[in-house]
Amino acid sequence: MATSIYNFKRIAPVPESSDFLDIVLSKTQRKTPTVIHPGYKITRIRQFYMRKVKFTQETFDEKLRQILEEFPVLDNVHPFYADLMNVLYDKDHYKLALGQINTAKHLIDAVGKDYLRLLKFGDSLYRCKQLKRAALGRMATIMKRQKDSLSYLEQVRQHLARLPSIDPNTRTLIVCGYPNVGKSSFMNKVTRADVDVQPYAFTTKSLFVGHMDYKYLRWQVIDTPGILDHPLEERNTIEMQSITALAHLRAAVLFFVDLSEQCGYSIQDQMSLFASIKPLFANKPTLLVLSKSDVCSLDAVGAAERQLVETAVRPEEGVELAQLSSYLDTGVIETRNLACDRLLMQRVELKLKGSKVSSVLNKLNVAQPGRRDTVDRPAFIPDAVRERRGRSDDSALERDLEAAHGGAGVYNVDLKKRYLLGADEWRHDVIPEIMDGKNVADFIDSDIAERLAELEREEERLAAEGLYDSPEEESDEEESRIRDVARRIRQRKQVIAHESRIKNVNRATLTNGQKAAASAPEDFARHLQLLGLDPAAAAATAAERVGRKRPRSESRDPAAVQMARASSVAARAQSTLRDRSTMGLRNARQKSIADKKKLVSQRQRNLMARAGESDRKIGMKMPKHLVTGKRSIGSNDRR
């Protein structure tokens, strides 16, 4: 979208005077040191408080400067905005408010300067602190007096931010006229602005902007509040906004006239308004738009009124006539196009008249090549193409064919029509399906369906003869028992697996002793039963040995123990120590030579008190107790 050239929307909020103070003073508190003691050097104390005063003054200065810089200066903005702001916020009030802020800034600077000067003579912490307090207090008082200016500026800021972003220099259509004549309806028809439309006067109380595309260009349409026909001095703020837009924007003007007089104003009134604000339309393409043409057209009104309208229309002065009905949607686009064309034409003319255009035009050259000689050099057309051009049947477009044969959805495009093959009649032949280099069709039995049917018939016959009936169930006692046992084994296996899975879970489990204490003799019996053993023998043993442990003699057969011991202990491997010093040596002579060599090789190592070959330790090179202390020449008292 065409963004505004001014940053009205980006003005920072202006705090109230009390908030302003809080912001600045808390910033001082946060950003300057806070700890000071009377025992510090006086220069440090002075510096501490001077910093506070200076910082506060600078913060005030910065904040006020920001306000002064961000708010637009009326002399620097486009006259349209300057005038609009004058209408809405009163230029004098606005300038006064900014002026007061500026004065406050200077006063605060002066206070800061004065007190810094006084602080240089502060001779105690108390005095410096009092001076700082006085300085900050006076700055705060100055700011408190700006309460009204600040709140006014905040209101202006909020309103400015909500102003429609109108670009004063772009292609613009301005819609104006009496209240309630259908300006906003037209606006809603041609743009997406969604302006409120109501059946009473002054529904639109301020300027609204909408955007549209025409001829690949972006246009803005400005909807203005209604204007009444009275002198400029009597116009209120709402009307003045329209007048401002009409006066300062170079745009096409669409003056709406309601011939049906449904708006409550007679045609004479409307035309006299047109006459009175006509000076504002000078040099602007103007359209006298007769709206609500569904209710009343130009032919239907009285002769006098018609005369009024027709005299106002002067194409030579740039005033043209258009009719539209937003209700029926007739003439809306035509009116828009007419206005846009006229404006575009005028803008191009203006540009051509301006000085800038020559700098562009002299760079442009539209080349128009002339004839070099009389030799004819026609474009090359292949013979095939030339031949094709002559034929009428083939040149028919697919689109025409489709229309001729029932339209989209019915007509099927013949893709094979232009295949280039050996003979034209092959085009629509069925294309064989090839798989792994073989034609699928070669492997298809023509009588496969028949043979399948034959197979099925045979099956039916066999089934009827009872070939597939299962043989008689021979109930074998033995087998059923085996099966039963097998089933129980499987079940038991499942249970065991399940139990072991549970047992593996990492949690507190009973110790064997606890388990034994918890289990009853019946459990043991049941367990034995489950294992297929007779619990009676065990019960007998238990009854016989009440309160007594099983003796060792009873627990195991001595012969079995003996055997087990013999089988578990293997013969121990015996290793002998051998003298390696003589290994690889043939005789005593060789050995003595080797011993000597060994001693020679170890001599150096022993001299250096090494533990072995691998001892490479480097000890302290300059032990301190040997190199410090008094020197012999007497320069130091000890060594």
Partner 1 sequence: MVSPQNEYIEESIRRHGRRLDHDERKRKKEARKVHKDAAFAQKVHGLKAKLYNKKRHNEKIQMKKTLKMHDEKNAKQKNDDAVPEGAVPAYLLDREGQQRAKVLSNMLKQKRKEKAGKWNVPLPKVRGIAEDEMFRVVKTGKSKSKSWKRMVTKPTFVGDGFTRKPPKYERFIRPMALRYKKANVTHPELKATFQLPIIGVKKNPQSPMYTQLGVLTKGTIIEVNVAELGLVTTGGKVLWGKYAQVTNNPENDGCINALLLV
Give the residue with the Cβ less far from partner 1, 48 or 115: 115
Q: Please report how close the Cβ of residue 368 comes to partner 1 at its closest, in angstroms.
A: 43
Q: Please report how close the Cβ of residue 66 comes to partner 1 at its closest, in angstroms.
A: 24
- For position 131 contacting partner 1 by CB under 8 A, the verdict is yes
DSSP classification of residue 571: P
Q: Please report how close the Cβ of residue 30 comes to partner 1 at its closest, in angstroms.
A: 11
Residue 91 host element (H or E): helix 91-119
Q: Please report how close the Cβ of residue 207 comes to partner 1 at its closest, in angstroms.
A: 8
Residue 252 host element (H or E): strand 252-258
Per the structure block, which two tokens stand in for 101?
A: 């802020």
Among the listed residues 134, 201, 295, 344, the single contact to partner 1 using CB under 8 A: 134
* Candidate segments 130-138, 359-367, 593-601, 606-614, binder of partner 1 by CB under 8 A: 130-138
DSSP classification of residue 378: P
**Residues that contact partner 1, how many (by CB under 8 A):** 32
Q: How far apart are CA 234 and CA 371, in angstroms?
A: 70
Give the residue with the Cβ less far from partner 1, 138 or 342: 138
Q: Please report how close the Cβ of residue 127 comes to partner 1 at its closest, in angstroms.
A: 6
Give the residue with the Cβ less far from partner 1, 194 or 387: 194
- For position 164 contacting partner 1 by CB under 8 A, the verdict is yes
Q: Please report how close the Cβ of residue 53 comes to partner 1 at its closest, in angstroms.
A: 10
Give the residue with the Cβ less far from partner 1, 185 or 323: 185
Q: How far apart are CA 190 and CA 183, in angstroms?
A: 11
Cα 82 to Cα 67, 93, 465, distances in angstroms: 18, 13, 111
Among the listed residues 115, 178, 214, 274, the single contact to partner 1 using CB under 8 A: 115
Cα torsion at 149, 154, 155, 159 (round to 10°)?
140
| Backbone dihedral region for residue 216 (phi beyond 0: left; psi -120 to 50: alpha; all else: beta) | left
Give the residue with the Cβ less far from partner 1, 29 or 582: 29
Q: Which residue from 148, 209, 186 is spatially nearest to 16, judged by alpha carbons?
A: 148
* Candidate segments 118-126, 345-353, 414-422, 540-548, binder of partner 1 by CB under 8 A: 118-126
Site string for partner 1, 465-494 (x = CB under 8 A): ------------------------------
| Share of the chain residues as helix, strand and coil, in percent rounded to the nearest 5 | 55, 5, 40
Asked whether 178 and 228 are in contact (CB, 8 A), the reply is yes
Give the residue with the Cβ less far from partner 1, 123 or 484: 123
User: Residue 246 carries which side chain, given as an amino acid letter?
Assistant: L
Among the listed residues 91, 127, 235, 347, the single contact to partner 1 using CB under 8 A: 127
Distance of CA 50 to the CA centre of its chain: 48
Q: Which residue from 482, 515, 189, 147 is spatially nearest to 325, judged by alpha carbons?
A: 189
29 to 48, contacts with partner 1 by CB under 8 A?
A: 29
Q: Please report how close the Cβ of residue 46 comes to partner 1 at its closest, in angstroms.
A: 12
Among the listed residues 44, 65, 117, 405, the single contact to partner 1 using CB under 8 A: 117
376 to 435, contacts with partner 1 by CB under 8 A?
A: none
Within 8 A by CB and 6+ apart from 559, the residues are none
Site string for partner 1, 181-210 (x = CB under 8 A): ----------xxxx-x--------xxxxxx
Cα torsion at 508, 513, 517, 519 (round to 10°)?
70
Q: Please report how close the Cβ of residue 210 comes to partner 1 at its closest, in angstroms.
A: 6
* Candidate segments 120-128, 376-384, 615-623, 627-635, binder of partner 1 by CB under 8 A: 120-128
Alpha-helical regions (H) of 122-236:
125-144, 147-162, 183-190
- For position 262 contacting partner 1 by CB under 8 A, the verdict is no
- For position 163 contacting partner 1 by CB under 8 A, the verdict is yes
Cα 103 to Cα 134, 165, 391, distances in angstroms: 20, 32, 92
Q: Please report how close the Cβ of residue 195 comes to partner 1 at its closest, in angstroms.
A: 9
Q: Which residue from 27, 80, 36 is spatially nearest to 56, judged by alpha carbons?
A: 27
1 to 20, contacts with partner 1 by CB under 8 A?
A: 1
Give the residue with the Cβ less far from partner 1, 118 or 298: 118
User: Residue 418 carries which side chain, given as an amino acid letter?
Assistant: R
Other Cβ atoms within 10 Å of 139 Cβ, number: 25
Among the listed residues 123, 398, 450, 534, the single contact to partner 1 using CB under 8 A: 123
Per the structure block, which two tokens stand in for 87?
A: 């209408």
* Candidate segments 157-165, 264-272, 353-361, 552-560, binder of partner 1 by CB under 8 A: 157-165
205 to 234, contacts with partner 1 by CB under 8 A?
A: 205-211
Look-up: residue for tokens 């009377």? 38
Distance of CA 208 to the CA centre of its chain: 31
How many residues are given for the chain? 639
Among the listed residues 31, 121, 404, 545, the single contact to partner 1 using CB under 8 A: 121
Q: What is the crossing angle of helices 267-276 and 303-312, to 10°?
A: 20
- For position 147 contacting partner 1 by CB under 8 A, the verdict is no
Among the listed residues 24, 97, 98, 135, the single contact to partner 1 using CB under 8 A: 135
Per the structure block, which two tokens stand in for 582?
A: 């003589």
Residues lying near partner 1 in the complex (CB under 8 A):
1, 29, 114-115, 117-118, 120-121, 123, 126-127, 130-131, 134-135, 138, 162-165, 191-194, 196, 205-211
